Amino acid sequence: MTVRAWAELLRVSALFTVPGDALAGAAATGRRPDRGTVLAVGASLCLYEAGMALNDWADRDEDAVDRPHRPIPSGRIAPGAALAAAGALTAAGLSLAARAGRPALTVATGLAATVWAYDLHLKHTPAGPAAMAAARGLDLLLGATATATATAGPAVGARAGHSGVNLPTDATGTTRPAASAGTVPPTRTVPPTRAVLPVVRSAVPAAVLLGAHTYAVTAVSRHEAQGGSTAAPLGALAAVVALGAVTVRERRGAGGPPPVPGRGGQGDNHRPPRGATAPRLLLAALTGSYFRTAAGPLLHAALNPSPPLTQRAVGSGIRAMIPLQAALAARAGAAGTGLAVMGLVPLARTLARKVSLT
């Protein structure tokens, strides 16, 4: 019973909607998933679960009235334990992000601050949906940043002597090799943020699309306990249609920006140039799966805005993030990544039957 209570508190069935953020972010940079991507996924999972625990802690009085069956109001989990879990998971997420590099830690810190601000205050204000949208967008950018930083390697953004050899630099910042290494050409040291930032910018459009979907679903979720809103699901349905129309269009130049110099001055992990973007049929299928998952329940909730149908629309909107992430990856030219993300769908569906998403 204790395990089930924690599974309900953390909404573990929603966990499968998280890895696709980092994978879509990596795809948007034109790089294959690497160690940095794995660290970003781990950090995202920890911060997501921290937000879930903090959400129930912050809403414990409200849930005692509207959802007395939830783990905290039902007495199965103590409020202090939930708050401690939120703090520990946040620390773990930031620690994993730090291992991916300073730029990734910067993005993760912004993500953690957004999650805590949303749960503790913003969710009950008009800024709530925007804050949640920002959190999802930052999660995708975390994957892009961690991947780009790992690809850059220590040669980019390294301080003189970072590799274990102290090399003098002149006034221009150019590293001069020692006399014994006269055959080695001078290398230009570049601050990590300056090296990674142009690559991460290529992931911003995907982050905006994922954030827009999150905004729409969050707007509907504000009515899931009492129901009664027709405008929110109708607005979300319109957003899903618009997002599907944008996503199904292949991105020009998919395959990513030029490589960030890494060891030896090469982009070690950059995806080779492609003669064509992701197969249009795959992109259409993934986008269609996104539309099919989200649109039907939203339409039903608009026609009958009862709490059960509104909650079902919210749950479907959360699950629809997986095919959307897959479509965004395929749109960027990473068909394999898109298919891998879609492999999470049956797992999410199976677990959702046992633990509610909302």
Tell me the per-residue pLDDT of 95-141, one tens digit each, with 9 for 90 and over: 999 999 999 999 999 999 999 999 999 999 999 999 999 999 999 99
DSSP state of 265: G
- 286/66 Cα distance (integer angstroms): 36
Range from 175-189, 226-240, 270-284, 337-351 carrying the lowest mean pLDDT? 175-189
Amino acid at 256: G
pLDDT given for residue 229 in this prediction = 83
Task: For the chain, give the mean pLDDT.
Answer: 84
Q: 232 burial class (0-12, 13-18, 19+ CB within 10 angstroms)?
A: buried
What the block records as the tokens of 260 is 């960030």
Report residue 150's pLDDT band, with 50, 70 and 90 as the boundaries: confident
Per the CB < 8 A criterion, the answer to whether 112 and 131 are in contact is: no
pLDDT given for residue 111 in this prediction = 98
What the block records as the tokens of 341 is 């993300």
> Tokens 């897959």 appear where?
326
| DSSP symbols for 53-114 | HHHHHHTHHHHHHH-TTSTTTTTSS-HHHHHHHHHHHHHHHHHHHHHT-HHHHHHHHHHHHH
209-231 as b/e: b if 16+ CB within 10 A: bbbbbbbbbbbbbbbbeebebee
User: What tens digit of pLDDT does each residue of 255-298 get?
Assistant: 444 444 443 344 445 454 443 444 789 999 999 999 999 999 99
pLDDT given for residue 252 in this prediction = 58
Closest by CA to 152, choosing from 203, 201, 106, 100, is 100
The residues near 150 (Cβ < 8 Å, ≥ 6 apart) are 34, 35, 36, 37, 100, 101, 269
What the block records as the tokens of 123 is 């969710």
pLDDT given for residue 153 in this prediction = 56
3-state secondary structure of 225: coil
Handedness of CA 93, 98, 104, 108 (dihedral sign): positive
Range from 89-98, 122-131, 329-338, 344-353 carrying the lowest mean pLDDT? 344-353
Global pTM exceeds 0.85: no
Closest by CA to 47, choosing from 103, 5, 102, 95, is 95
Range from 88-97, 235-244, 258-267 carrying the lowest mean pLDDT? 258-267
Is 192 a residue whose pLDDT tops 80?
Answer: no
Per the CB < 8 A criterion, the answer to whether 196 and 152 are in contact is: yes
Q: 268 burial class (0-12, 13-18, 19+ CB within 10 angstroms)?
A: middle
- 63/55 Cα distance (integer angstroms): 11
Is 75 a residue whose pLDDT tops 80?
Answer: yes
User: What tens digit of pLDDT does each residue of 46-70 get?
Assistant: 999 999 999 999 999 999 988 899 9
3-state secondary structure of 239: helix
Query: For the chain, which domains are there?
Result: 2-59+68-157+192-252+277-352 (1.10.357.140)
pLDDT given for residue 258 in this prediction = 44
Kindly report the backbone phi and psi dihedral angles of residue 175, in degrees, each rounded to the nearest multiple of 5, phi listed first.
-80, 125
Report residue 90's pLDDT band, with 50, 70 and 90 as the boundaries: very high
pLDDT given for residue 89 in this prediction = 98
